[in-house]
Structure 1
Amino acid sequence: MLTFRYSRWDGSQQVFPLDDAAIMGELSDQLLSHGDINSALRNLMRRGLPARFGERSMGLQDLVQRLQNRRQEQQQRYDPGSAMEGISEKLKSVLKHEEQSIERQMDRAKSQADGSKDAGIDPALAQKLLKDLQRRAQRSRDFLETVPRKNPAAAINKLRDYEFMDQRAKQEFDELLDMLKKQAAESFFKDISKTLQSLTPEQMKAMRNMVHDLNEMLEQKMNGQEPNFEEFMEKWGDMFGPNRPQSLDELIEQMQRQLSQVQSLMNSMSPEQAKQLQDLMQSVLGDGELESELSRLAANMDFLDPSGSMRREHMFSGDEEIDLSDALKLMDEMRRMEDLERQLRRVQQGGSADDIDREALQELLGEEARQALDQLTRLTDFLEREGYIKKVGGRFELTAKGMRRIGQRALQEIFAYIKKDRPGGHQIDPAGQGVENADNTKQYEFGDNFVPHLQKTILNAIKRDAAGVPVRIQPDDFEVYRTEHLTQAATVLMVDLSLSMAMRGNFTAAKKVALALDNLIRTRFPRDKMFIVGFSTYAREIKADRLAYLSWDEFDPYTNIQHGLAVSQKLLTRIKCGTKQI
């Protein structure tokens, strides 16, 4: 009867606690099929662990599938090309507000000039001011007509030195320009915009000098020299924020991740949009020397990335608009999902689970996924703690306890569906000399083992002579235990290891029978001898502790049963007992 106990949730409960017996059962099945405990453990981690009430925890394959689904959802939702369209729309808004402001100012100036006499203003002066404003307005209109509306980079370069007549339009343009400058800087250096808040000329100069020194250091590394990273960080470390890199390799890795955001975004756009974004990033800083140093830095980073990890492409089919900042964050999320999927697949192939970024897993898939991974990584610890496996030379092997557990499971499966029939215990009828006492007794006869039943012996003496005490016992009064005659047997089990066993799907069943028989004899008949002989092209003895790892002979495909019988007979000749069987 199951008992369910309810309590307040505090985060420490397991929704579906693991089922230890089911885990060992599945591990046994995997081991029977593959003959490799390490492969069996990997398959169990891939599929997930069985929990109580028929549930399963998420396996590595489930985590990979969730990542793929999330990535597909993002690809079907967003349109990265809208990031450039968003910049174009902001520029259109700036131009629209400027043009509307020019017209409003002209209308207001005309009204003031027409009413200047009534307002007590010199009409000649009012007309002069109106003409000056008209000339300026016309120059502004002429200039705005030359601004390329479909090329954001060229438009921004045009408007950079333009004297706005509308403060709102100027504020919008300055905010857009500042945002683009920060994005351009952060495309190389993470968190640098938090250090350089407004990118003033002094800060731009400092950034230019820092990038120059960084290029010098990278080129020293590319030429096989040892750059002084500590000196560089002592001089420029404040520009990298609180999470400053601890080595040059870490700094290179950070910059590659940052560059991959912009590169992946451009790869996910149309060629025209990608060219516009590239031009925009190269020109938005407004500092020719800095732009030259950044181009040099990009070339150096490309040289240090021979695998092309920065050149990723994502196929988007959605129509939801996204701005540039969010588009770059989306590219970073896509990269993290790809990296995490690669880490999970590497573990499925035998890699270490310690290499999985658990923080990224929790952020991308939630706390449940993190807990599932923790359960999977504790699997080997649990099996070691329970004494089922041990680590030998960097690999896991079954212990004697683990072998017995697998043998017991095989034995249970074989007899699970046995039909109800007459009672039996596989005993023989003849009684005789032995070492095990039977429950019944007999009168002592010459030659019997002298194991007297004291109560019945004294009772026989009293029945014979009830004169009183002391009771005198005669030889005929002795009652002794009958003893069961126990014999030993030597058994050789021959297992066909030829390729045909695997091709016909019979090998797993044969291996299961071998494990079950070995477990039965060792637990029920410990005095018996049990040998296992495997045969294919040639025959050989298989030790019991290697039985769980047994597999077919892929490169010796033939069935030499004659050699198997010869090896079996040779093993039996060493045993001195009456019953020998193959």
Structure 2
Amino acid sequence: MTNFEYRPWHDGPDPLAPPVDIRAALDQIGRDVMEGSSPRSALEELLRQGVRGTRGLDDMTRRLWRERSRLQRRNRLDGTMQEVQRLLQEALDAEKRQLFPDPSDDARFREAQLDALPTGTAAQVRELANYDWQSAQAREAYQKIQDLLGQELMESRFQGMKQALANATPRDVERIREMMSDLNDLLAAHARGDDTQAQFTEFMNKHGDFFPENPRNVEELIDALAARAAAAQRMMNSMSAEQRAELGELIQQAFGDPRLAGEIARLDAQLQALRPGEDWTSSGRFRGQNPLGMGEAAQVMQDLAEMDGLAEQLAQSYPGARLEDIDLEALERQLGSEAAVDARRLAELERELRNQGLLERAPDGSLRLSPKAMRRLGETALKDVVRALSARRGERDTARAGAAGEPTGSSRAWEFGDTEPWDVSRTVRNAVLRTASAGGTVTLDVQDVEVVETEQRSRAAVALCVDTSWSMVQDGRWLPMKRTALALHHLVQTRFRNDALELITFGRHAQPVDIAELTAMEGVWEQGTNLHHALLLAGRHIRRHPDAQPVVIVVTDGEPTAHLEPDGEAEFHYPPLPRTLRLTLSEVDKLARLGASVSVFMLGEDPQLEAFVDIVARRSGGRVVNPDLDGLGAAVVSDYLRKRRG
């Protein structure tokens, strides 16, 4: 037997999370493309805004900047100096209490020494380095100052060191100084180029417990140390000149051993030479009330730098940017696990859009929607149209089954009055399945009978002429027009494949386009509504298919203001010239002689347009529809289905 073992889930994609919604993402990209964005811009906008259930890059960036601002508003950098001042005052008070009852001259001399201490915390700590404390409490408080300075100094360069040195002994301090000396020697050898992996391995075997990052070579060790040292330097840069000088003097008393501060200074100089690309010069403004120690301040500066790097990754504004570039571990540290999950899902969404062939490279290297993506967009647009038709009329257009026509490939149970031919194989199968359990002779019963479903199939030549003049963009009709064309195109390609559909755009000129060109077409500031040219192209399309039912559909929001001259040039004039109207109506008459009625879908409430399209409808035997934008697709598809039925 196969054994299964279940263990807790700790990291990686959530195995129970729902898959990313590719269809919703594609719909959003398609909508943006139809409004004039490039596919790349539309994809970037999708990733910035996110999808349902997944926050986008913009939201993560806003949270990063909010957290960054909170750190600077909440904190200040003088925590170490404040704590030193408190301990120093505690030591002085305890020593004076010890000396006060003592009548000896030595006690008076010591009091005079304490009263003559120089101003400034650092100077006082330095002056008291060799003082012979009479009070055990005072001696302990002063020792705490030296230990605190040592812990903070080491924590500012080695994360986690403060806790490790909480109860440091002189032996521990000597070991730290030895580690620092060996580290500086290793970095110096690396700078000269004569270090070896064996030398690094020996160093890690001896001092590896100081480096929880567990670097694998000198380069990784330098990267970790330089990032922390640069953060500590930015912390110093963020202080006032007085604070910086005071702290610089104080750290000379770290663990009571000035050699340690010297080793730190040597380390910083080497790291700055080895990693000049780190940010060693910038500073920050901290204006809060929460005092931070040197180690905490260095960590805050490191967090701020990490946030800046994450913000750049989330912006995706550099060449070749990919969502895989985002440091998910850093994002989780700064914004929590949910942000990392959202970023991982966005990366998966981007990867799936490419892997499923919904975005492809054009010959010029740009991204474009693939034919597969166009089919999905058309399917969505058609579903919206069918939903609108159902809501408006209480029904939806379906193929009518009947005795005449072509088989659809499906069958249904026979009902009283049906005259369709039997589907013999399915009928016999039903009878066998019904009688098999009884073990008797196979007999037919009326409940076994299935009939072949057929439908009336006539062929249509369809010319959909859509207005692409600037007014369509300006008045918000651009996207509904494109979605209408998508829906009609998808219906013809999937349901009525024998029909011949021609998409014709007309502005100053008219031209036939494929659905991908129309979807990606951008609005252009161009005056002119050349319906004459569009109807001329529609007539050519219908003549190429003389055996088909002619269907001409026009979507426009303005009366004709341009016509095509014999030399191929378009003449524009507003208000329309009589010649423009005459040539346009001449094409309407030619279409009528071909048996094509022209249905005009009039957008807007232009009285001149209304009067003109009324003439068009009367002369061609067509009709005029004035739909709202939401109902445009349903109206056009409904008219197409009505016309193709004769």
What is the distance in 2 between the residues matched to 1:365 and 1:71? 11
- Distance in 2 (alpha carbons) for counterparts of 1:453 and 1:62: 60
Instruction: Give the residue type in structure 1 aligned to 2:76.
Output: D
Give the equivalent residue in structure 2 for 1:346: 316
| One of 461, 477, 493 as aligned partner of 1:489 | 461
List runs of 5+ in structure 2 lacking aligned partners: 1-8, 409-418, 423-452, 554-646
The question of 1:511 aligning with 2:482 is answered yes
Cα 1:343/1:484, change in 2 over 3 Å: closer
What SS does the corresponding residue of 1:378 show, helix, strand or coil? helix
Structure 1 residue aligned with 2:184? 211
Measured in 1, the distance between the counterparts of 2:421 and 2:163 equals 97
After superposition, the Cα gap between the structure-2 partners of 1:502 and 1:209, relative to the gap in structure 1 and judged at 3 Å, is same
Change (3 A) 1:525 1:332: same
Taking the TM superposition and a 5 Å limit, the aligned residue runs for 1:298-317 are 298-303=268-273, 309-317=279-287
User: 1:435, 1:189 → 2: CA distance?
Assistant: 81
Would the aligned equivalents of 1:83 and 1:327 in 2 still touch at CA under 8 Å? no
Partner of 1:63: 60
User: Could you tell me how far apart the structure 2 residues matched to 1:379 and 1:14 are?
Assistant: 17
Match for residue 138 of structure 2 among 161, 169, 175: 169
Any conservation in 2 of the 1:26–1:44 contact (CA below 8 Å)?
yes
Of the two, which has the highest radius of gyration?
1
Secondary structure (helix, strand or coil) at the match of 1:147 reads coil
For 1:102, the equivalent position in structure 2 comes to: 99
Taking a change above 3 Å as real, the CA distance of residues 513 and 159 of structure 1, as seen in their structure-2 partners, is same
Cα distance in 1 for partners of 2:455, 2:382 equals: 30
Cα distance, 1:175–1:405 mapped onto 2, change above 3 Å = same
CA separation of 1:147 and 1:529: change in aligned 2, threshold 3 A? farther
Superposed, 1:139-150 pairs within 5 Å as 139-150=109-120
- Aligned residue for 2:498, secondary structure, equals coil
Q: Which residue of 2 aligns with 1:259?
A: 229
Question: Secondary structure of the residue that 2:290 maps to in structure 1?
Answer: coil
Task: After superposition, give the CA deviation of every residue in 1:317-371 in whole Å (9 maximum; x if it has no partner).
Answer: 3223344443333333333333333332238997333332323333333333333
Whole-angstrom CA distance in 2 between matches of 1:292 and 1:26: 60
Structure 1 residue 258: deviation in Å?
Answer: 1.0
| Deviations 1:121-143 (CA, angstroms, capped at 9, x unpaired) | xxxxxxxxxx5xx33x3443343
State how far apart, in whole Å, the 1-side matches of 2:470 and 2:80 are: 60
Distance apart, 1:532 and its partner CA: 3.7
1:337 to 304, 307, 318: 307
- Letter of the 1:269 partner, please give it: M
The letter of the residue matching 1:526 is R
Aligned-pair CA distance for 1:179: 2.9
C-alpha deviation, 1:86, in angstroms:
2.3
Q: Give the 3 Å change call, closer, same or farther, for CA 178–164 of structure 1 in structure 2.
A: same
Deviation string, structure 1 residues 484-540 (Cα, Å, up to 9, x no partner) = 5723315354563x7775555443333222212211221232112234456778876
**Mapped partners of 1:380, 1:289: distance in 2:** 54
> Structure 2: how far apart are the matches of 1:408 and 1:454?
33
Q: After superposition, give the CA deviation of every residue in 1:101-148 in whole Å (9 maximum; x if it has no partner).
A: 2335x2xxx5xxxxxxxxxxxxxxxxxxxx5xx33x344334333433
Cα distance in structure 2, aligned partners of 1:290 and 1:454: 100
Q: In the aligned structure 1, how far is the partner of 2:473 from the partner of 2:352?
A: 32
How much does 1:377 deviate?
2.8
CA spacing shift, 1:139–1:538, aligned 2, 3 Å = farther
1:7 aligns with none
Aligned residue in 2 for 1:228: 195
Structure 1 residues 247 and 425, CA, compared in 2 at 3 Å: closer, same or farther?
same
- Determine the structure 1 residue equivalent to 2:332: 362
Shift in CA distance, 279/540, structure 1 to aligned 2, threshold 3 Å:
farther
SS of equivalent to 2:54: coil
Structure 2 counterpart of 1:511, which letter? K
C-alpha distance in structure 1 between counterparts of 2:162 and 2:399, whole Å = 87
State how many pairs are aligned. Answer: 489
Q: Does 1:407 align with 2:374?
A: no
Is the 8 Å Cα contact of residues 208 and 290 (structure 1) preserved in structure 2?
A: no
Query: Cα RMSD between the aligned structures?
Result: 4.6
Measure the CA separation in 1 of the matches of 2:66 and 2:284: 14
> Which shifted more, 410-419 or 67-76?
410-419
Which residue of 220, 237, 240 maps to 1:270?
A: 240
Code of the residue aligned with 2:381 in structure 1: it is A
Q: 1:171–1:232: structure 2 CA closer, same or farther, 3 Å change rule?
A: farther
Q: Partner residue of 2:358? A: 389
Residues 42-74 of structure 1 deviation map (CA, whole Å, 9 limit, x = unaligned): 323322221xxxxx4322222222223333333
Which secondary structure state, in structure 1, belongs to the residue aligned with residue 489 of structure 2? Answer: helix
Which structure 1 segments of 5+ residues have no match? Answer: 1-9, 51-55, 111-130, 221-225, 438-451, 456-480
Contact 1:47 1:58 in 2 (8 A): yes
TM-score (norm 1): 0.68
Deviations 1:74-120 (A, max 9, x none): 3332232344222222222222222322335x2xxx5xxxxxxxxxx
- 1:449 is aligned to none
Describe the SS at the equivalent of 2:214.
Answer: coil
| Structure 1 residue 203, shift from structure 2 partner | 4.5
1:200 aligns to what SS in structure 2?
Answer: helix
Q: For 1:174-193, what per-residue CA distance to the aligned partner results, in whole angstroms no more than 9, with x for missing partners? A: 23212322332343444567
Higher relative contact order (CA 8 A, sep 6+): 1
Instruction: Say yes or no: does 1:526 pair with 2:526.
Output: no
Question: Aligned to 2:63, what secondary structure does the other structure show?
Answer: helix
- Whichever residue aligns with residue 321 of structure 2, its letter is G
Amino acid at match of 2:97: Q
Contact kept, 8 Å, 2:72 with 2:285, in 1: the verdict is yes
State the AA in 1 paired with 2:300. L
**Residues 103/518 of structure 1: CA separation in 2 closer, same or farther (3 Å cut):** same
Secondary structure class of the residue paired with 1:514:
helix
Secondary structure of 1:374's partner?
helix
Report the equivalent of 1:279. Answer: 249
- 1:41 lines up with 2:13 in the alignment: no
**Percent of aligned pairs sharing the same letter:** 24
Q: Distance in 1 between matches of 2:544 and 2:132?
A: 107
Alignment partner, residue 128 of structure 2: 159
Q: In the aligned structure 2, how far is the partner of 1:509 from the partner of 1:483?
A: 31
Residues 268 and 315, structure 1, Cα contact 8 Å, conserved in 2: yes
Rounded Cα–Cα distance in structure 1 between residues aligned with 2:460 and 2:399: 13
* Whole-angstrom distance in 2 between the partners of 1:407 and 1:242: 56
Task: Quote the Cα distance in structure 2 between the aligned partners of 1:231 and 1:574.
Answer: 82
Cα gap change, 1:200 to 1:292, in 2 (>3 Å): closer
**C-alpha distance in structure 1 between counterparts of 2:457 and 2:328, whole Å:** 64
Distance 1:83 1:164, change over 3 A: same
The 8 Å contact of residues 410 and 515 in structure 1, kept in 2 or not, is answered as: yes
Q: What's the secondary structure of 1:491's corresponding residue?
A: strand
- Structure 2 counterpart SS, 1:511: helix
